[in-house]
Structure 1
Amino acid sequence: MNQVIKEGNEFIGYEYKDIITEPERASLYLDGYRHFGWVPDDNFQVSAAKGKITLKLKRNRKLLNKAELTRLQRHFDSCVNELDKIQKSATFPPMMWAILIGLIGTALIAGSTFAVTADSPMILLCVILAIPGFICWAIPPMVYQKLLQKKQGQIEAAMEQKYDEIDDICQKGDKLL
Protein backbone atom coordinates (compact mmCIF):
# COMPACT_ATOMS: atom_id res chain seq x y z
CA MET A 1 0.00 0.00 0.00
CA ASN A 2 1.26 3.47 -0.87
CA GLN A 3 1.96 5.68 2.07
CA VAL A 4 1.85 9.49 1.78
CA ILE A 5 4.61 11.19 3.67
CA LYS A 6 3.85 14.75 4.75
CA GLU A 7 6.83 17.04 4.45
CA GLY A 8 6.71 20.42 6.15
CA ASN A 9 4.54 21.67 8.94
CA GLU A 10 1.39 22.86 7.23
CA PHE A 11 -0.50 23.09 3.98
CA ILE A 12 -0.09 26.31 2.01
CA GLY A 13 -2.70 27.26 -0.57
CA TYR A 14 -1.49 29.50 -3.38
CA GLU A 15 -3.08 31.92 -5.79
CA TYR A 16 -1.49 32.23 -9.20
CA LYS A 17 -0.86 35.09 -11.61
CA ASP A 18 0.53 35.30 -15.13
CA ILE A 19 2.17 38.50 -16.31
CA ILE A 20 2.83 39.04 -20.00
CA THR A 21 5.40 41.77 -20.59
CA GLU A 22 8.30 42.92 -22.72
CA PRO A 23 11.69 41.41 -21.83
CA GLU A 24 13.07 44.75 -20.62
CA ARG A 25 10.24 45.05 -18.04
CA ALA A 26 10.47 41.47 -16.70
CA SER A 27 13.01 42.27 -13.98
CA LEU A 28 11.00 45.27 -12.84
CA TYR A 29 7.89 43.11 -12.48
CA LEU A 30 9.73 40.29 -10.69
CA ASP A 31 11.42 42.67 -8.27
CA GLY A 32 8.29 44.72 -7.67
CA TYR A 33 5.81 41.88 -7.25
CA ARG A 34 8.02 40.28 -4.58
CA HIS A 35 7.06 43.18 -2.32
CA PHE A 36 3.38 42.24 -2.68
CA GLY A 37 3.91 38.62 -1.66
CA TRP A 38 4.37 37.11 -5.14
CA VAL A 39 7.24 34.74 -5.89
CA PRO A 40 8.16 33.00 -9.15
CA ASP A 41 6.45 29.64 -9.52
CA ASP A 42 9.24 27.06 -9.57
CA ASN A 43 7.03 24.57 -11.44
CA PHE A 44 7.19 26.62 -14.64
CA GLN A 45 9.93 28.16 -16.72
CA VAL A 46 9.66 31.73 -17.97
CA SER A 47 8.27 31.42 -21.49
CA ALA A 48 8.82 33.80 -24.39
CA ALA A 49 6.78 34.21 -27.56
CA LYS A 50 6.48 36.99 -30.13
CA GLY A 51 8.74 39.37 -28.24
CA LYS A 52 6.81 38.96 -24.98
CA ILE A 53 7.69 37.10 -21.79
CA THR A 54 5.19 35.27 -19.58
CA LEU A 55 6.04 35.32 -15.89
CA LYS A 56 4.29 32.75 -13.69
CA LEU A 57 3.92 33.90 -10.07
CA LYS A 58 2.29 32.54 -6.92
CA ARG A 59 1.55 33.78 -3.41
CA ASN A 60 0.06 32.46 -0.20
CA ARG A 61 -3.75 32.71 -0.17
CA LYS A 62 -3.82 33.38 3.57
CA LEU A 63 -1.63 36.44 3.39
CA LEU A 64 -2.37 39.17 5.91
CA ASN A 65 -3.25 42.64 4.56
CA LYS A 66 -4.12 41.09 1.18
CA ALA A 67 -6.56 43.86 0.22
CA GLU A 68 -4.02 46.60 0.85
CA LEU A 69 -1.29 44.64 -0.95
CA THR A 70 -3.61 44.22 -3.95
CA ARG A 71 -4.31 47.96 -3.97
CA LEU A 72 -0.59 48.73 -3.88
CA GLN A 73 -0.01 46.15 -6.63
CA ARG A 74 -2.55 47.90 -8.87
CA HIS A 75 -0.85 51.22 -8.17
CA PHE A 76 2.48 49.60 -9.09
CA ASP A 77 0.98 48.30 -12.36
CA SER A 78 -0.36 51.73 -13.27
CA CYS A 79 3.04 53.31 -12.59
CA VAL A 80 4.75 50.78 -14.88
CA ASN A 81 2.15 51.52 -17.59
CA GLU A 82 2.83 55.24 -17.15
CA LEU A 83 6.56 54.55 -17.61
CA ASP A 84 5.76 52.96 -20.96
CA LYS A 85 3.62 55.95 -21.96
CA ILE A 86 6.36 58.36 -20.97
CA GLN A 87 8.88 56.46 -23.09
CA LYS A 88 6.54 56.39 -26.08
CA SER A 89 5.79 60.10 -25.69
CA ALA A 90 9.48 60.80 -26.21
CA THR A 91 9.55 59.39 -29.73
CA PHE A 92 6.12 60.42 -31.04
CA PRO A 93 6.57 64.21 -31.61
CA PRO A 94 10.04 63.90 -33.21
CA MET A 95 8.75 61.15 -35.50
CA MET A 96 5.74 63.23 -36.53
CA TRP A 97 7.95 66.22 -37.35
CA ALA A 98 10.31 64.05 -39.40
CA ILE A 99 7.39 62.52 -41.30
CA LEU A 100 5.84 65.94 -41.92
CA ILE A 101 9.10 67.33 -43.32
CA GLY A 102 9.48 64.23 -45.53
CA LEU A 103 5.93 64.67 -46.85
CA ILE A 104 6.59 68.33 -47.62
CA GLY A 105 9.69 67.23 -49.54
CA THR A 106 7.60 64.67 -51.43
CA ALA A 107 5.04 67.34 -52.36
CA LEU A 108 7.82 69.63 -53.60
CA ILE A 109 9.36 66.84 -55.70
CA ALA A 110 5.91 66.00 -57.11
CA GLY A 111 5.44 69.67 -58.03
CA SER A 112 8.87 69.66 -59.65
CA THR A 113 7.98 66.54 -61.64
CA PHE A 114 4.68 68.05 -62.81
CA ALA A 115 6.50 71.26 -63.78
CA VAL A 116 8.98 69.43 -65.99
CA THR A 117 6.40 67.09 -67.55
CA ALA A 118 3.91 69.84 -68.41
CA ASP A 119 2.98 70.56 -72.07
CA SER A 120 5.49 73.38 -72.03
CA PRO A 121 8.21 72.28 -69.57
CA MET A 122 9.05 74.83 -66.86
CA ILE A 123 12.65 73.95 -66.09
CA LEU A 124 13.23 76.92 -63.76
CA LEU A 125 10.17 76.02 -61.64
CA CYS A 126 11.30 72.39 -61.63
CA VAL A 127 14.70 73.39 -60.19
CA ILE A 128 13.13 75.83 -57.71
CA LEU A 129 10.86 73.07 -56.34
CA ALA A 130 13.38 70.22 -56.58
CA ILE A 131 16.13 71.79 -54.45
CA PRO A 132 14.01 72.31 -51.29
CA GLY A 133 12.31 68.97 -51.99
CA PHE A 134 15.61 67.10 -51.86
CA ILE A 135 16.62 69.08 -48.76
CA CYS A 136 13.32 68.09 -47.10
CA TRP A 137 14.08 64.49 -47.93
CA ALA A 138 17.60 64.70 -46.49
CA ILE A 139 16.97 66.44 -43.15
CA PRO A 140 14.28 64.32 -41.38
CA PRO A 141 16.81 61.96 -39.73
CA MET A 142 18.73 64.92 -38.34
CA VAL A 143 15.55 66.67 -37.18
CA TYR A 144 14.38 63.43 -35.55
CA GLN A 145 17.67 62.98 -33.66
CA LYS A 146 17.80 66.60 -32.47
CA LEU A 147 14.18 66.63 -31.26
CA LEU A 148 14.58 63.19 -29.66
CA GLN A 149 17.64 64.34 -27.70
CA LYS A 150 15.76 67.42 -26.53
CA LYS A 151 12.71 65.37 -25.52
CA GLN A 152 14.86 62.70 -23.79
CA GLY A 153 16.24 65.34 -21.47
CA GLN A 154 12.72 66.41 -20.54
CA ILE A 155 11.37 62.92 -19.86
CA GLU A 156 14.32 61.67 -17.79
CA ALA A 157 13.08 63.69 -14.83
CA ALA A 158 9.53 62.33 -15.24
CA MET A 159 10.79 58.74 -15.46
CA GLU A 160 12.99 59.18 -12.39
CA GLN A 161 9.97 60.50 -10.51
CA LYS A 162 7.95 57.41 -11.55
CA TYR A 163 10.75 55.09 -10.43
CA ASP A 164 10.80 56.88 -7.06
CA GLU A 165 7.03 56.39 -6.81
CA ILE A 166 7.46 52.69 -7.62
CA ASP A 167 10.11 52.41 -4.91
CA ASP A 168 7.75 54.00 -2.36
CA ILE A 169 4.95 51.61 -3.33
CA CYS A 170 7.26 48.60 -3.01
CA GLN A 171 8.50 49.77 0.39
CA LYS A 172 4.91 50.10 1.63
CA GLY A 173 4.13 46.61 0.32
CA ASP A 174 7.23 45.17 1.94
CA LYS A 175 6.23 46.64 5.31
CA LEU A 176 2.81 44.97 5.04
CA LEU A 177 4.39 41.56 4.52
Structure 2
Amino acid sequence: MIDESGFGSGTPIDYTRYGGDYVAYEYLTVQADRDLEPLYKDTYRSFGWIIENTTTGVLAGGAPNPTTVTLKLKRDRRIRNRPLVNELQRKAESAMEAIHDLENSRTSTALAVALAIGIVGSAFLAGSVFAIEAGLWVLSIPLGAVGLLGWLAGYLAHGRIKARKTTQTAPLIDEQYEIIYDASEQAARLLA
Protein backbone atom coordinates (compact mmCIF):
# COMPACT_ATOMS: atom_id res chain seq x y z
CA MET A 1 0.00 0.00 0.00
CA ILE A 2 1.06 3.58 -0.57
CA ASP A 3 0.64 6.21 2.12
CA GLU A 4 0.33 10.00 1.71
CA SER A 5 4.08 10.41 1.44
CA GLY A 6 4.13 8.17 -1.62
CA PHE A 7 6.04 5.38 0.12
CA GLY A 8 4.59 2.00 0.90
CA SER A 9 3.62 1.65 4.54
CA GLY A 10 1.28 -1.30 4.33
CA THR A 11 -1.73 0.68 5.61
CA PRO A 12 -4.34 1.94 3.17
CA ILE A 13 -5.13 5.64 2.84
CA ASP A 14 -8.29 6.68 4.68
CA TYR A 15 -10.03 8.81 2.04
CA THR A 16 -12.97 9.59 4.32
CA ARG A 17 -10.79 11.94 6.35
CA TYR A 18 -10.29 14.01 3.16
CA GLY A 19 -14.00 14.67 2.83
CA GLY A 20 -15.52 11.57 1.26
CA ASP A 21 -15.04 8.42 -0.70
CA TYR A 22 -12.42 8.07 -3.35
CA VAL A 23 -13.72 8.58 -6.91
CA ALA A 24 -11.80 7.16 -9.83
CA TYR A 25 -12.24 9.37 -12.88
CA GLU A 26 -11.67 8.72 -16.53
CA TYR A 27 -10.57 11.63 -18.68
CA LEU A 28 -11.27 12.64 -22.27
CA THR A 29 -10.04 15.47 -24.48
CA VAL A 30 -12.16 16.38 -27.49
CA GLN A 31 -11.60 18.92 -30.25
CA ALA A 32 -14.67 20.45 -31.85
CA ASP A 33 -15.54 23.21 -34.29
CA ARG A 34 -16.40 26.38 -32.43
CA ASP A 35 -19.80 26.40 -34.16
CA LEU A 36 -20.58 22.92 -32.80
CA GLU A 37 -19.25 23.57 -29.26
CA PRO A 38 -22.70 23.76 -27.59
CA LEU A 39 -23.73 20.48 -29.25
CA TYR A 40 -20.57 18.73 -28.03
CA LYS A 41 -20.97 20.08 -24.48
CA ASP A 42 -24.63 19.06 -24.21
CA THR A 43 -24.01 15.65 -25.74
CA TYR A 44 -21.09 14.74 -23.49
CA ARG A 45 -22.97 15.96 -20.39
CA SER A 46 -25.77 13.52 -21.17
CA PHE A 47 -23.22 10.69 -21.08
CA GLY A 48 -22.09 11.61 -17.58
CA TRP A 49 -19.08 13.74 -18.51
CA ILE A 50 -18.19 16.85 -16.53
CA ILE A 51 -16.58 19.68 -18.49
CA GLU A 52 -13.43 20.69 -16.65
CA ASN A 53 -11.98 23.16 -19.12
CA THR A 54 -12.63 24.69 -22.52
CA THR A 55 -9.75 26.25 -24.46
CA THR A 56 -9.12 27.53 -27.95
CA GLY A 57 -7.84 24.81 -30.28
CA VAL A 58 -4.23 24.57 -31.36
CA LEU A 59 -2.81 24.07 -34.84
CA ALA A 60 -0.05 21.55 -35.57
CA GLY A 61 2.66 24.22 -35.17
CA GLY A 62 1.38 25.28 -31.75
CA ALA A 63 -0.40 28.40 -32.96
CA PRO A 64 -3.94 29.01 -31.67
CA ASN A 65 -6.79 27.97 -33.95
CA PRO A 66 -9.79 30.26 -33.39
CA THR A 67 -12.15 27.97 -35.34
CA THR A 68 -11.85 25.04 -32.91
CA VAL A 69 -12.13 24.46 -29.18
CA THR A 70 -10.65 21.78 -26.96
CA LEU A 71 -12.91 20.32 -24.28
CA LYS A 72 -11.33 18.58 -21.30
CA LEU A 73 -13.81 16.20 -19.70
CA LYS A 74 -13.91 13.82 -16.76
CA ARG A 75 -16.41 11.21 -15.57
CA ASP A 76 -16.73 8.78 -12.71
CA ARG A 77 -15.44 5.38 -13.87
CA ARG A 78 -18.11 3.63 -11.84
CA ILE A 79 -21.14 5.02 -13.66
CA ARG A 80 -24.16 2.79 -13.91
CA ASN A 81 -24.64 0.77 -17.11
CA ARG A 82 -21.21 1.79 -18.36
CA PRO A 83 -21.01 -0.59 -21.39
CA LEU A 84 -24.41 0.56 -22.68
CA VAL A 85 -23.58 4.22 -22.09
CA ASN A 86 -20.25 3.83 -23.92
CA GLU A 87 -21.99 2.21 -26.89
CA LEU A 88 -24.51 5.05 -27.06
CA GLN A 89 -21.64 7.56 -26.75
CA ARG A 90 -19.85 5.98 -29.72
CA LYS A 91 -23.06 6.22 -31.71
CA ALA A 92 -23.43 9.92 -30.83
CA GLU A 93 -19.75 10.63 -31.59
CA SER A 94 -20.16 9.00 -34.99
CA ALA A 95 -23.17 11.23 -35.69
CA MET A 96 -21.26 14.34 -34.56
CA GLU A 97 -18.42 13.41 -36.92
CA ALA A 98 -20.95 12.97 -39.74
CA ILE A 99 -22.38 16.43 -39.00
CA HIS A 100 -18.86 17.89 -39.11
CA ASP A 101 -18.17 16.19 -42.46
CA LEU A 102 -21.50 17.28 -43.95
CA GLU A 103 -20.93 20.87 -42.82
CA ASN A 104 -17.48 20.85 -44.41
CA SER A 105 -18.79 19.34 -47.65
CA ARG A 106 -20.98 22.40 -48.15
CA THR A 107 -18.00 24.68 -48.56
CA SER A 108 -15.37 22.28 -49.88
CA THR A 109 -17.34 21.27 -52.98
CA ALA A 110 -18.23 24.88 -53.76
CA LEU A 111 -14.63 25.97 -53.23
CA ALA A 112 -13.24 23.21 -55.47
CA VAL A 113 -15.55 24.10 -58.35
CA ALA A 114 -14.93 27.85 -57.96
CA LEU A 115 -11.16 27.29 -57.93
CA ALA A 116 -11.32 25.09 -61.04
CA ILE A 117 -13.32 27.70 -62.94
CA GLY A 118 -11.01 30.46 -61.66
CA ILE A 119 -7.92 28.55 -62.82
CA VAL A 120 -9.41 28.14 -66.29
CA GLY A 121 -10.14 31.90 -66.29
CA SER A 122 -6.54 32.55 -65.26
CA ALA A 123 -5.31 30.38 -68.15
CA PHE A 124 -7.31 32.53 -70.58
CA LEU A 125 -5.84 35.68 -69.01
CA ALA A 126 -2.34 34.24 -69.34
CA GLY A 127 -3.12 33.47 -72.98
CA SER A 128 -4.21 37.07 -73.38
CA VAL A 129 -0.91 38.33 -71.99
CA PHE A 130 1.08 36.03 -74.28
CA ALA A 131 -1.01 37.21 -77.24
CA ILE A 132 -0.17 40.84 -76.38
CA GLU A 133 3.54 40.02 -76.23
CA ALA A 134 3.28 38.29 -79.61
CA GLY A 135 1.59 41.40 -81.03
CA LEU A 136 -1.79 39.68 -81.52
CA TRP A 137 -3.99 42.39 -80.05
CA VAL A 138 -7.11 41.15 -81.80
CA LEU A 139 -6.78 37.73 -80.11
CA SER A 140 -5.72 39.21 -76.77
CA ILE A 141 -8.95 41.14 -76.11
CA PRO A 142 -11.37 38.17 -76.40
CA LEU A 143 -9.02 35.93 -74.38
CA GLY A 144 -8.82 38.56 -71.63
CA ALA A 145 -12.61 39.00 -71.62
CA VAL A 146 -13.15 35.22 -71.36
CA GLY A 147 -10.59 35.07 -68.55
CA LEU A 148 -12.32 37.81 -66.55
CA LEU A 149 -15.69 36.14 -67.17
CA GLY A 150 -14.14 32.91 -65.87
CA TRP A 151 -13.21 34.64 -62.63
CA LEU A 152 -16.71 36.08 -62.31
CA ALA A 153 -18.26 32.68 -63.11
CA GLY A 154 -16.12 31.06 -60.40
CA TYR A 155 -17.37 33.56 -57.84
CA LEU A 156 -21.01 33.11 -58.85
CA ALA A 157 -20.66 29.30 -59.02
CA HIS A 158 -19.36 29.22 -55.45
CA GLY A 159 -22.52 30.83 -54.10
CA ARG A 160 -24.88 28.69 -56.17
CA ILE A 161 -23.15 25.39 -55.42
CA LYS A 162 -22.93 26.19 -51.72
CA ALA A 163 -26.66 26.97 -51.62
CA ARG A 164 -27.53 23.78 -53.52
CA LYS A 165 -25.23 21.67 -51.32
CA THR A 166 -26.79 23.23 -48.20
CA THR A 167 -30.24 22.22 -49.46
CA GLN A 168 -29.01 18.67 -50.12
CA THR A 169 -27.24 18.20 -46.80
CA ALA A 170 -29.82 19.81 -44.49
CA PRO A 171 -32.02 16.67 -44.19
CA LEU A 172 -28.94 14.48 -43.66
CA ILE A 173 -27.69 16.77 -40.91
CA ASP A 174 -31.12 16.73 -39.27
CA GLU A 175 -31.03 12.90 -39.27
CA GLN A 176 -27.67 12.96 -37.50
CA TYR A 177 -29.01 15.39 -34.90
CA GLU A 178 -31.90 13.01 -34.22
CA ILE A 179 -29.43 10.14 -33.72
CA ILE A 180 -27.53 12.28 -31.20
CA TYR A 181 -30.69 13.31 -29.36
CA ASP A 182 -31.97 9.72 -29.17
CA ALA A 183 -28.63 8.37 -27.92
CA SER A 184 -28.32 11.19 -25.37
CA GLU A 185 -31.83 10.62 -24.10
CA GLN A 186 -31.25 6.88 -23.71
CA ALA A 187 -27.94 7.48 -21.91
CA ALA A 188 -29.51 9.99 -19.55
CA ARG A 189 -32.16 7.41 -18.63
CA LEU A 190 -29.50 4.75 -18.06
CA LEU A 191 -27.48 7.04 -15.80
CA ALA A 192 -30.49 8.19 -13.74
Q: TM-score, normalised by structure 2?
A: 0.79
Partner of 1:73: 89
User: What are the ranges of 5 or more consecutive residues in structure 2 without an aligned counterpart?
Assistant: 1-15, 58-63
Q: Alpha carbons of 1:65 and 1:137: their partners in 2 closer, same or farther (altered >3 Å)?
A: same
Q: CA deviation at 1:164?
A: 0.7
Q: TM-score, normalised by structure 1?
A: 0.85
Tell me, in whole angstroms, the C-alpha distance in 1 between the residues paired with 2:99 and 2:131: 49
Partner of 2:43: 32
Q: CA deviation at 1:81?
A: 0.8
Q: CA deviation at 1:48?
A: 2.4
Query: Pick from 101, 112, 115: which aligns with 1:96?
Result: 112
Q: Alpha carbons of 1:166 and 1:112: their partners in 2 closer, same or farther (altered >3 Å)?
A: same
Q: Alpha carbons of 1:27 and 1:124: their partners in 2 closer, same or farther (altered >3 Å)?
A: same
Tell me, in whole angstroms, the C-alpha distance in 2 between the residues paired with 1:92 and 1:47: 26
**Other structure's SS at 1:139 match:** helix
Query: Pick from 18, 28, 36: which aligns with 1:17?
Result: 28
Of structures 1 and 2, the one with the larger relative CO (CA 8 A, separation 6+) is 1
Q: CA deviation at 1:56?
A: 2.3
Give the total of aligned pairs. Answer: 168
- The one-character-per-residue Cα deviations of 1:131-153 (angstroms, maximum 9, x if unpaired) are 11121122322211111111111
Q: CA deviation at 1:93?
A: 1.9
Partner of 1:139: 153
* TM superposition outliers: structure 1 runs of 4+ over 6 Å: none
- Output the aligned Cα RMSD: 1.9
Identity of aligned residues (%): 29
Partner of 1:113: 129
**Corresponding letter in the other structure for 1:48:** T
User: What are the ranges of 5 or more consecutive residues in structure 1 without an aligned counterpart?
Assistant: none
Tell me, in whole angstroms, the C-alpha distance in 2 between the residues paired with 1:165 and 1:62: 26
Tell me, in whole angstroms, the C-alpha distance in 1 between the residues paired with 2:102 and 2:161: 15
Matched, 1:148 2:159: no
Partner of 2:61: none
**Corresponding letter in the other structure for 1:138:** L
**Corresponding letter in the other structure for 1:37:** G
- The one-character-per-residue Cα deviations of 1:97-153 (angstroms, maximum 9, x if unpaired) are 2111111111111112222212xx222111221211121122322211111111111
